[in-house]
Structure 1
């Protein structure tokens, strides 16, 4: 089932518009103009700002960063600072303890070995020796033993430990050496088991002396042993170069890159442009033109994306080119008007008027588009206006998006589109404006609460006021601008149809006063047509208004039509069938002339002209055949044309159904249903519905609707007792 499109209901177009619609490349030209307009409107909002700022000068304005970029120099500086702040790392070398314990033990082992070798040599040597003698034996001197010991020890030990340290140990007994060795090894192991930084080495050595002073050996042996123990203790908590480098590198790597955020203040008004500020200005591209092509390329891609959506909608194959151009021209004008209005309001933003975009009546465009075109394209346009508005009102920061305005416009536009109904009177449009205002206020409150900011009562009142004005002005502008489009483009809108349905219209008053029977018939046909058209998805309002005027031609000769013959003789009884035929046929042409004279919409004129199609005037045709055999059926057929639209076809059926049902003596539901189906069948067989796009299924739905409506009109009524008594008395 096809649905109606408001864009298809057009009155007689002005010559200029009609000629423009036939232009072959009109659609391409309009797409190009839309793209250029959109590009120019958004150009200032994405154009990189170029400053004539000098180093060490005073800025005359507050400068914001137009883009987000990484400040590599600042990032490296922070990484170096993090690297340098990490202190040297130290580690406890436990292997040092084992080594120094082994060293101390080796020294005592060497002393023991030297003493043992000296004793063995004395036993083997029977002759006089160079050493001293005692009791006839050769005694190896301490100096010789020290000489042998120094050969066994390393140079470092010989340098650090003097001869006086080893002499008491070389003269000590094996038991004393063993006791001294165990004491030194144990003490060194205990002390070296703790962390010994360089700065605490002296206290560690002192700790060795304190622990060894209680060893039960001679004092001179104890002193020498303590010196070996002190020598064995070294710092074991030492600098770790690898660990230090790892820690410093981790600290440097943990530093996040320094970014200059989009919208960040680079320099305040009346602030000095220092070398650092100047470097940042250059970094964000405010002092050069090297990358100025990027925003323009992005804007071009964005405009092409929007145009592709519009082109996809309008360039459908099921839409004739002339109707497409007509709808596209209307859309382009509304779109351009709304964008221009947003752009003009954005200029006040430079005057430091906070959130001036909130007062913009952005919902006006989608509302007019819905009224003149349809709901789908109006929803698409609402999304486009929301995105464009967020760029236009970007608070002076080029290339940014004002998401607050974007969400605000989207909510308001969609509210206007969805709240409007198909049959919209001016009061309904004003109600829609109030609804938009309410949605705007709710949206603003929601956004402010999500920001979790602090706002004064004056600020909140300011926001509420602008939101309310935006919604109300949108509806007022819609009502004010709509007639210009209806007149200029010959659009038969819902508003125009409602105006034509007013009983005070001159033609309706004429048919009511001069032909009351025809007026009643027209109202009945209007009710039938409206309900049937709504049931099949056609324009019920157009059918209703068209039915009001379809028999306006009968006002020229009212008494020649049976519904207007009240207590008078039928004048056709005295006329020939041919003359009666001409009078009946004339009501169609007379009606068309009267409607054209009053500059009625073409759709209404078409209904008056086509509602009889080429149907046969059966009564007078049969009357003529009774008088003569030389009668042709074509002579008694209406000139047509046949109904071209669903609405006219439904009115044609309703016209016949109403007249036929009115002629029934006792209309019952069964009789009505049989009559309706019979009339529809006759029109199908006669070919009267061949040129409209009504389907058999839609005809069946229309028939059911006719029956239901007629059953409600011709329902049975009870007879009141008082009226019954009066009738009995009168009898």
Structure 2
């Protein structure tokens, strides 16, 4: 029944829809954790009632009504702009000049008419009528007739002098600004300008009247400049905002219409529903899940392993988020900074140990963001950046401290390191914010930071066996445990088949260095190589490395029987490993490390007595190597045995042998079912040669020993 349910669970994990379902669950877990923290706060308050608490603005928002009011004030405060119009001065000077010219012209015409003795009217009256016809009606209406009569009676020389004096006076007076309110004062200045002119009294009086007529306001209202100034004043008004954290109403203060309006503006009234925070949270969660999807969909693993890792990740992430949410509930009882005690580093440390370091770093950033939202009680904004930074550095500290040495003792040390990082970050935040903290507060922060790091390591150590067993994860820590010589199976190999044990250690050394050279799992290859020949413990004396001072038993057996004994060590090894519930990776290595290679020695021995023998009868049952690690162990197994059998190995001979074995595997199609490349095979060959040269290096021939050997021979 148990095997049936396990098979059902395995099939379920292989289904394609499972990963989609898990991504959805992951997003739902994050949204559920953030919901209460992003939900807009609403208050049940009434207009003209007293506030029972001090209310702060939860967000920053523009107060458009207040902004518009200030803009209108700025607009109205700008005075009208005036400008000095030089063209008005020129126009009035020309006007005065043309009036005098017209008077001179009328006088000249009158003189001509007098010579022709064409008299119909008196001369003075005729001149006045002629002048009035030549001037505009507005001039005639505004200048008295006696002024014209006096000027018409003057001589041309006197008129020219009067003209120059009046033009100069008008030009001098109107060169200055003359607003309309100062017009009378400006007109009175004409008399001062003309009083010293060399003119007869009656002509001076008329010229003065004409000058006063010419003076007009030249400092006039400038509509365009005024509008520009007013627009500048409006633009200079800063946007009025209700700042996040700003006090809107004090406790026991009357909620008037203005305060009530502001409460509605920041969304604190029941009738103001806002969905923007939920949309923003949805976008954030979408980005987080997209990053996780990108990582897992890029994994070059089978669907079963990929779903297995994804399910494990969802479980670890959900547990960590649940811890955050549970601890955050204590914020309601005035423990605002209780978030510092959360063992947040547990999640990334577990992910680093069981899955991958890159995913652990990504998770650290996700937890820092979500944690800063979950623990936003007591801060004016949605994000508590202080605790977000605290979580980020604590998680990264735990991940980086673990490094590649995934020992259980290292986890406890990582917890201490996380505690140290937490203390440093809290100190940094306290100093940067320049706040005032009591000794009790400071001590509480330090205790919570220390507890967070230590509990993270304890929980990591506690959860590790459950996840490793439940998900069949062969972590680096588990591999190190399996590599211990005190393991029952390794002790069995060492005591019952010492030659095989030495062979396995040599294969492990070769495999690990080659795997690391091409980026494969070197630790898996090393530990798996220790167990690859465990099947030889069933009949140890039938394998040459264990035949110490005994006759080879195969000399008395037929080739067929010897072949069966040799091939059986593969199936025997698989059986032993399964019996001891060893990891599937080790079982695959034991089962596939010979692939379907040919037992050449016994095949040729059988061919000597029977030509009807087929190669397939003397091949291992397989399957062929499915992974790079198994392919490398397979080649290393043959290389180590071949080099050990060489009488006088040299670097050149070793390299030639290594490359010939690799070429033979390629020709025999033994590497067709794993994704190893020719370039990687070349790197593997070089790695094997380097390792073997270090093992089979030339040694110094000691003279004394050499002399004794010669004497013995003689």
After TM superposition, the score normalised by the length of structure 2 is: 0.78
Aligned-pair Cα RMSD in Å: 5.2
Distance 1:103 1:603, change over 3 A: closer
1:550 to 2:532 alignment: yes
Match of 2:175 in 1: 193
Match of 1:485 in 2: 467
Aligned with residue 534 of structure 1, among 512, 516, 520 = 516
Contact 1:45–1:397 (Cα < 8 Å) also in 2: no
**Separation of aligned partners in 1, 2:109 and 2:269:** 90
1:44 to 2:5 alignment: no
Aligned with residue 54 of structure 1, among 42, 46, 51 = 46
Alignment deviations for residues 443-500 of structure 1 (CA, whole Å, 9 cap, x no partner): 8999999xx8645698999999988877776566544433321111011111110111
Distance 1:155 1:576, change over 3 A: closer
Contact 1:82–1:252 (Cα < 8 Å) also in 2: yes
Aligned with residue 278 of structure 1, among 249, 252, 260 = 260
Contact 1:350–1:396 (Cα < 8 Å) also in 2: no
Contact 1:13–1:489 (Cα < 8 Å) also in 2: no
1:598 to 2:598 alignment: no
Alignment deviations for residues 497-550 of structure 1 (CA, whole Å, 9 cap, x no partner): 011111222322333334333322221222122223333443221221122223
Aligned with residue 499 of structure 1, among 476, 481, 498 = 481
Distance 1:247 1:653, change over 3 A: closer
Q: Output aligned runs, 1:639-654, within 5 Å.
A: 640-654=622-636
1:658 to 2:640 alignment: yes
Contact 1:74–1:258 (Cα < 8 Å) also in 2: yes
**Separation of aligned partners in 2, 1:179 and 1:263:** 80
Contact 2:183–2:216 (Cα < 8 Å) also in 1: yes
Distance 1:24 1:398, change over 3 A: farther
Alignment deviations for residues 124-155 of structure 1 (CA, whole Å, 9 cap, x no partner): 99x9x9xxxxxxxx9999xx999999999999
Q: Output aligned runs, 1:669-680, within 5 Å.
A: 669-677=651-659, 679-680=661-662
Alignment deviations for residues 74-131 of structure 1 (CA, whole Å, 9 cap, x no partner): 2321221111111122232445545655676788789999999999999999x9x9xx
**Separation of aligned partners in 1, 2:7 and 2:547:** 44
Match of 1:296 in 2: 278
- CA shift at 1:351, angstroms? 6.1
Distance 1:669 1:149, change over 3 A: closer
- CA shift at 1:616, angstroms? 5.7
Aligned with residue 702 of structure 2, among 711, 720, 728 = 720
1:709 to 2:691 alignment: yes
Contact 2:264–2:272 (Cα < 8 Å) also in 1: no
Q: Give secondary structure in 1 for the equivalent of 2:47.
A: coil
Greater Cα shift, 619-628 or 302-311 = 619-628
Aligned with residue 497 of structure 2, among 490, 493, 515 = 515
Match of 1:371 in 2: 353
Q: Give secondary structure in 2 for the equivalent of 1:91.
A: strand
Distance 1:185 1:671, change over 3 A: closer
Match of 1:330 in 2: 312
Aligned with residue 85 of structure 1, among 72, 77, 98 = 77
Distance 1:360 1:107, change over 3 A: same
Contact 1:91–1:238 (Cα < 8 Å) also in 2: yes
Distance 1:289 1:484, change over 3 A: farther
**Separation of aligned partners in 2, 1:501 and 1:43:** 47
Contact 1:64–1:397 (Cα < 8 Å) also in 2: no
Q: Output aligned runs, 1:602-617, within 5 Å.
A: 602-613=584-595
Distance 1:464 1:92, change over 3 A: farther
Distance 1:478 1:148, change over 3 A: same
- CA shift at 1:41, angstroms? 2.4
Contact 1:101–1:185 (Cα < 8 Å) also in 2: yes
Aligned with residue 339 of structure 1, among 314, 321, 340 = 321
Q: Output aligned runs, 1:154-165, within 5 Å.
A: none
Distance 1:147 1:655, change over 3 A: closer
**Separation of aligned partners in 2, 1:181 and 1:509:** 134
Contact 1:86–1:248 (Cα < 8 Å) also in 2: yes
Q: Give secondary structure in 2 for the equivalent of 1:325.
A: helix
Q: Give secondary structure in 2 for the equivalent of 1:25.
A: helix
1:208 to 2:190 alignment: yes
Distance 1:110 1:488, change over 3 A: same
1:524 to 2:506 alignment: yes
Q: Give secondary structure in 1 for the equivalent of 2:83.
A: strand
Contact 1:208–1:226 (Cα < 8 Å) also in 2: yes
Distance 1:502 1:229, change over 3 A: same
Q: Give secondary structure in 2 for the equivalent of 1:50.
A: coil
**Separation of aligned partners in 2, 1:694 and 1:146:** 122
1:74 to 2:66 alignment: yes
**Separation of aligned partners in 2, 1:681 and 1:156:** 120
Distance 1:691 1:94, change over 3 A: closer
Greater Cα shift, 270-279 or 685-694 = 685-694
**Separation of aligned partners in 1, 2:192 and 2:111:** 34
**Separation of aligned partners in 2, 1:202 and 1:95:** 21
After TM superposition, the score normalised by the length of structure 1 is: 0.77
- CA shift at 1:717, angstroms? 1.0
Match of 1:3 in 2: none
- CA shift at 1:423, angstroms? 5.8
**Separation of aligned partners in 2, 1:654 and 1:500:** 20
Q: Give secondary structure in 1 for the equivalent of 2:700.
A: coil
- CA shift at 1:601, angstroms? 1.2
If asked which structure has higher relative contact order (CA below 8 Å, sep 6+), I would say 1
Ranges in structure 1 where 5+ consecutive residues have no aligned partner? 1-11, 130-137
Distance 1:188 1:351, change over 3 A: farther
Q: Output aligned runs, 1:337-486, within 5 Å.
A: 337-347=319-329, 364-375=346-357, 377-378=359-360, 380-382=362-364, 384-389=366-371, 391-393=373-375, 400=382, 421=403, 424-426=406-408, 454=434, 477-486=459-468
Alignment deviations for residues 173-225 of structure 1 (CA, whole Å, 9 cap, x no partner): 88777655654443233222221234444543453333333345566765665
Greater Cα shift, 462-471 or 226-235 = 462-471
**Separation of aligned partners in 2, 1:188 and 1:253:** 42
Match of 1:33 in 2: 25
Distance 1:433 1:268, change over 3 A: farther
